[in-house]
Amino acid sequence: MTTETIERKYVLTKIARGDWMLPSNDGRTIFRLYHDPEALAGETTDGGEMRRAAWTLWRWTGGHVVDTWSWSEWELLDGSLYTRTEAIREALRLS
C-alpha cells in the first residue's frame, strides 16, 4: 500500500481535548477532527487487539464565523477514522 503525501500549509488549532480544527490548503474550508472516546465501531487486528474507529471528520457549512459549540452546521464527512493522522490525511485529500 502506498500513501501519497500531501503537504499541509496550515497548523491544527486545538479547541478542546480531542477536538481540533484544520483549514484546507486553499483556506476555503474548515475541517474539524473530533475524537470520540465512546466510539463503538472498530476492527480486530491480526494480533487480536480491538482497534476503535474513534476519530470523526467534519466540514463547516455555516457562515464566516465558525461556531465550535453547536454541531448543527458541521457536516459529518467520515465517522470511521482510527487516528488523528488518518483524519488529517482525509481532510487534505478532500481539500
Residue owning grid cell 457562515: 63
Residue range 80-86: mean pLDDT, rounded = 90
Give 73-81's long-range contacts (Cβ < 8 A, gap of 24+).
74/32, 77/31, 79/41, 79/53, 80/41, 80/53, 81/53, 81/54, 81/55, 81/56, 81/57
Q: Report whether 70 contacts 3 (CB < 8 A).
A: no
Q: Tell me the per-residue pLDDT of 30-81, one tens digit each, with 9 for 90 and over.
A: 999 999 877 655 566 666 666 667 899 999 999 999 999 999 999 999 988 9
Q: Tell me the per-residue pLDDT of 42-56, one tens digit each, with 9 for 90 and over.
A: 566 666 666 667 899
Total length of the chain: 95
All three cell numbers of 20: 481540533
**How much is the pTM?**
0.78
pLDDT at 40: 58
